[in-house]
Structure 1
Amino acid sequence: MIERGEKLLKGLILCAGKGSRLYPFTNNRPKTLIPVTNTPLLQLSIMKLTELGIDRIGIVIHPSQETDIRGQFGEGEAFGVAITYIYQHTPKGIANALKQAEDYLAGEPFLLLLGDNLISAPLSALKNDVEHGGVQASLLLAEVEDPQDYGIAEIQDSRIVGLEEKPKHPKSNLAVIGGYAFTKEIFGAVNEITPSKRGEYEITDAIQWLIEQRHAVAYHVTDQLNIDVGTKERWLLANRKLLDAGTCKIKVHDSVRMERCTIVEPVSIDKDCVLKDCRIGPYVSVGAGSRLENIQIENSIILNGVHMKDLSFPINNVIIGEHSVVAGVLIDKEVNKP
């Protein structure tokens, strides 16, 4: 429980990445605005922080993203938080993005989230570590099947002894999954490291510096849902998993109109949609303002304002871009399979 007068941690969300692996969907929108079950990834990150009572949040963006992100999230009033936008002009890695927020964080402990990661595990243990546990960094780890794609932690005698970013020969399958808590000492580390072979300032290198300087680095392993939504396949997977995890398996906005439709849970159908003679689901999200007639679709994501009509075969495992029109046949330009 938060005591009256207690000073809350700040939160920081990194959103400056281009999301090139999600083209064409991220050609004209920031990656962190792509929806999972009709909720933008950035909003899901904000919700994770507000679960802990954190109401001061810095969001690191590229200047080209400001219009889109500020246009949707403003200064945070709708979410009960105060948002400060911080700029990373050149994509030089997570540690470099963090460095841009040093003045904003003003020496206070903070929680850090990567805006393109979907994390279900509570972050209270990380928060307690840096507030009351006497540690300078606390990490959320999870077992992964493809450790070459992640920052990997080496554990000995229940403590982290090494971290390596995307190793060719991983020493474990415990990955750093995008949830962190730090004290001000992390900025000493960020200022000491040099770019990796990828040309980026790696957060794993900064944490490794803390370990080598004998700062306390804690960790917590979770088996709850966590997905780096960095590819179309992972986007579809995140949509499936989040739909499955919902307490309400059929989420249909009150404004939706349906005639002669079969809905197979779990699904999410956003506002102002019109559906006729359709079979929707399982594992389908339909974006706002879409009009669907005489189609069958499952395990797919339909973005806002899509018109689909008279498809004689079922659609499965696709993402359909905003304002696409699909009638009679599928057109590659309009329907993007992962």
Structure 2
Amino acid sequence: MKALVLAGGSGTRLRPITHTRAKQLVPVANKPVLFYGLESIRNAGITEVGLVVGDTAPAIEEAVGDGSAFGLQVTYLRQEAPLGLAHAVRIARGYLGDEPFVMYLGDNFLVGGITELVRSFDPAVHDALVLLTPVPDPEMFGVAEVRAGRVVRLVEKPAEPPSDLALVGVYLFSSAVHEAAAEIKPSWRGELEITDAIQWLIDRGRPVASTTVEGYWKDTGDVESILEVNGRLLDRRGDETAVHGDVDAVSELTGGVRVAAGARIRRSRIAGPVDIAAGTLIEDCSIGPWTSIGEGCRLRGSGLRRSIVLAHASIAGAHGIESSLIGHCAEIASDGDRGAPRRTLVLGDHSKVRI
């Protein structure tokens, strides 16, 4: 079995961060979202991965390389425009051949991995296996209608959803899906929808199975989702504090704080779960909980919680920062007013802000 990982798309819901970086490379718990998916694929015993890329191809290729760091063999497949998931299947036809494959959306996060799903899928029995989960806003997703345990209809982002069962961004297919992808037409969105391809199989009596995801799943396509996943991952690490950096005697660390080698903490209170990467300096700050700070950052006289700070950012004298996403090399300066109201910031790379 091979894997097809989708890492194209423009990431409009994550702007301004995605003006300068691929959405799949935004870090949660100080690791790009895409890497979690690649690790899940490797852990499932799959080694050959076709990685579909678009305009952000250079950044993706630099981050992933040939895949050897993940124990994978990665082949890059260029998609000229984000024309839909079934279009990605079309352009991957030559790479995939007649092998069954798992298709994994690179900006999705699935707790528990896909090992059991891969083991359970038999392409001699089913032509597709879709993952479903109940959501409060099904109109934002592909939605399945299930009767007597059987998928009978799939609709992409319907105005009137037939159920609350959303399609999770992981699919397993036999080679039959290639015929389906070749036959369908663009939807009203101008895209070749994978839901239409699966519906094509259903309409022709081809066996399509479904399973409900019991664990945590999230499409990390917007800021709130990114922050939620970041918090979930930090929570899963537990309350154990691991300090490999330099923390002075007057600083206080509680509740699951990770300080990487080369990081320095001075006169600060860190309330976990918090992850602080190498080379970062934190002085006279109150940090956390649910906060990740990338490598080489400088934080002085500031306070923030439930936030992600990307590498080499600088925050000085800014209190009350909450539920924020701070870009690479961004600079925030303030007069240090501790009575400041809560601030939620979404700053692109290299932004400069005074508050």
TM value normalised by structure 1 = 0.92
How has the CA–CA distance of structure 1 residues 141 and 105 changed in structure 2, closer, same or farther, with 3 Å as cutoff?
Answer: same
Mapping 1:269-288, distance limit 5 Å: 269-288=276-295
Shift of 1:335: 7.8
Query: Within 1, Cα distance between the matches of 2:195 and 2:123?
Result: 23
Instruction: Tell me the alpha carbon deviations over residues 276-322 of structure 1, each in whole angstroms, 9 at most, x when there is no partner.
Output: 111111010101110111111101111110111122x3211111111
Residues 143 and 164, structure 2, Cα contact 8 Å, conserved in 1: yes
CA distance in 1, matches of 2:126, 2:109: 25
Aligned counterpart for 2:322 among listed residues 316, 320, 323: 316
What are the residue-to-residue correspondences of 1:151-230 with 2, within 5 Å?
151-230=142-221
- Superimposed CA distance per residue, residues 4-42 of structure 1 (whole angstroms, 9 cap, x where no aligned partner): xxxxx1111001101011111011111111111111111
Look up the equivalent residue of 1:116 and give its one-letter code. D
Q: Residue 5 of structure 1 aligns with which residue?
A: none
- Say if 2:138 and 2:157, in contact at 8 Å, map to a contact too: yes
Gaps of 5+ in 1: 1-8
- Tell me the distance in 1 between the aligned counterparts of 2:131 and 2:293: 32
Change (3 A) 1:323 1:332: same
Letter in 2 for 1:269: I
Match of 1:42 in 2: 34
**Who is 1:261 aligned against?**
268
Distance in 1 between residues matched to 2:194 and 2:237, nearest whole Å: 32
| Aligned counterpart for 1:325 among listed residues 322, 331, 346 | 331
2:46 pairs, out of 29, 49, 54, with 54
Deviates more, 1:153-162 or 1:221-230: 221-230
CA RMSD of aligned residues (A): 1.8
| Structure 2 counterpart of 1:10, from 2, 12, 36 | 2
In 2, Cα distance between the equivalents of 1:335 and 1:154?
48
Q: Conserved in 1, the CA contact under 8 Å of 2:123 and 2:173?
A: no
Q: Displacement of 1:111 after TM fit?
A: 0.8
Q: CA deviation at 1:332?
A: 8.0
2-structure distance, mates of 1:173, 1:35: 29
**Residue 340 (structure 2) aligns with:** none
* Deviation per residue, 1:62-82 (Å, 9 max, x gap): 1x3222111111101111111
Residue by residue, what CA displacement relative to the aligned partner does 1:198-251 show, whole Å, maximum 9, x if unpaired? 111100010011111111111110131111111112111221222222345322
Identity of aligned residues (%): 37
Query: In the aligned structure 2, how far is the partner of 1:154 from the partner of 1:132?
Result: 22
Partner Cα separation in structure 2 for residue 217 and residue 250 of structure 1:
45
